[in-house]
Structures are given as C-alpha cells and as structure tokens.
C-alpha cells in the first residue's frame, strides 16, 4: 500500500481539503508574510477545525510542494490506502470464485468517481481499478462525494489497464465492458462468478484497447430512447444487477 500521507499544494486545493475533508488534513503550512488575504482565511478555518497551522519560509513550501505551484499554501494530507496492481490477484483469490471488480476507464470528474466508489462499497465489490494517468485520482472532492467509501473500498491504481485486464483473465475473471453500440443486454449476462465490469469515461466511453480486452460487451436497455447514462448512474445499475443475481445463487 501507499505511504500514510502526501502533500497537496495551492490555495484552492488546500481550501477544498479543509472545507470538505478536514478530518484527513494533518497540518497546514502557510507562507510567513504571504500577502494573499486567502491565506489568512485558510488559517482561520483550519484553526477553527483544530488543524495545526504553521507559518514557514517560502523555501519550506517549495520543498514539500515538489514542483507544484503552491501560492503560499500546502497541507499534509492523509493518503487513501490505494493498492498496487500487483496486489489485485490476492484480492481476487480471497473472494473465492465470487470476485466482483469494477474497472473505470478514464473517469475525469471527481464527483462521478466518488459516486462510483459509493455504489461500489454498497455493492460489496472486491476492488475498484482506475488508471494512474488520464483519469481523476482520489482527492478531497472524491472522498467527500464517496461518503467514506474511498477509505474502505480497495482502490487499485493501474499503470497499464490493458495488462491488468489480461491478468484478471488469467485469474479466471470474465470481463464485460459497458457500451451503447451492442445488441447484447446487460440482463442477459451471467454475473454470478468472478466478474469484472468495465465502464468508460464521461466523454469517450471505453477506449479501443480496453474494448479489445473485454470478453464481451453489453448495454443497459433504455426503452425511453435516451442514448446514455451518467457513468456513476450506469455503475450503480450494473453493480446492482450483479448483486441481484448473486443473491439468488
């Protein structure tokens, strides 16, 4: 797993963390003598929520920000316990033939990711897989939207999503991608065994390489004639279809 904290930098990022996720902010560093009035507002709010605040030199902020533009503000933030992709096989094996993995291929909106994680936790998923690149990561907004799920569901960050899908197949996991351009209905799939459900991002849906690594594609029937659902809504639909089937088995 990852280390137990990381640094976030920038006035907006620090303000959002204090406002939405104060329980995970360990301390706030502010530039001594900084002129931006928002720095004082951050200090007042942080102290109101019993977060340690220190005024430090700009060089100290440069050091913890790691090259990011800090604007005179940084915060030590408790990291979500994300999992390395090499740990995924152990999670699947521990599920004893009933693994349910959610794969999100490039979700960009933190509110959508948070809602997906909330549904995943409610459905009892084995793990959620997200790409390390070109996708939103678990941040303060995701944590707030997930209502705590981001800290309870195993979130696996994949450096190569196609490789992870191949590894899942080797472990006996059937992989189904959600797509609109197929006549196969979600409700015709058998989702009772080892299954990974793959959903694409808000703009492009499933990427070509991701589609090619799926064992099958399925669509959510929409008799109302609408072409698509928000990714977080679609996630809830597919996960709880799996839950429905598994309760009957």
Binding region for S-adenosyl-L-methionine = 200, 220, 229
Distance CA 78, CA 224 (A): 44
Q: Which residue has the tokens 């096989």?
A: 89
Annotated binding residues: 200, 220, 229
Q: How far is CA 209 from CA 122, 163, 241, in A?
A: 29, 10, 26
CA-wise closest residue to 220 among 168, 190, 178, 169: 178
Q: Give the number of other Cβ atoms within 10 Å of residue 212's Cβ.
A: 11
Beta strands in the chain (DSSP E): 5-9, 25-31, 52-56, 73-78, 82-84, 100-105, 127-131, 155-158, 174-178, 195-200, 216-218
CA-wise closest residue to 242 among 187, 172, 173, 198: 187
The encoded tokens of residue 74 equal: 């940084």
């Amino acid at each position: 797993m990852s280390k137990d904290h990381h640094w976030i930098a920038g006035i907006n990022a620090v303000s959002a963390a204090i406002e939405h996720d104060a329980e995970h902010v360990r301390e706030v560093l502010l530039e001594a003598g900084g002129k931006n009035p928002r720095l004082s507002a951050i200090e007042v709010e942080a102290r109101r929520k019993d977060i340690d605040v220190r005024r430090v030199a700009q060089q100290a902020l440069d050091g913890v920000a790691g090259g990011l533009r800090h604007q005179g503000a940084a915060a030590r933030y408790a990291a979500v316990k994300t999992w390395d992709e090499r740990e995924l096989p152990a999670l699947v094996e521990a599920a004893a033939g009933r693994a349910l993995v959610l794969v999100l291929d490039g979700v960009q909106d933190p509110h959508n990711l948070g809602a997906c994680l909330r549904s995943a936790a409610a459905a009892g998923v084995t793990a959620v897989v997200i790409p390390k690149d070109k996708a939103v990561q678990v941040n303060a907004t995701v944590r707030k939207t997930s209502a705590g799920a981001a800290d309870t569901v195993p979130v696996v960050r994949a450096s190569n999503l196609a490789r992870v899908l191949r590894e899942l197949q080797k472990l006996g996991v059937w992989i189904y991608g959600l797509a609109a351009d197929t006549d196969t209905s979600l409700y015709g799939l058998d989702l009772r065994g080892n299954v990974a459900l793959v959903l694409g991002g808000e703009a492009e849906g499933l990427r070509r390489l991701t589609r090619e690594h799926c064992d099958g594609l399925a669509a959510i029937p929409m008799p109302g004639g609408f072409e698509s659902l928000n990714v977080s809504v679609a996630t809830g639909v597919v996960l709880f279809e799996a839950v429905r089937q598994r309760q009957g088995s």
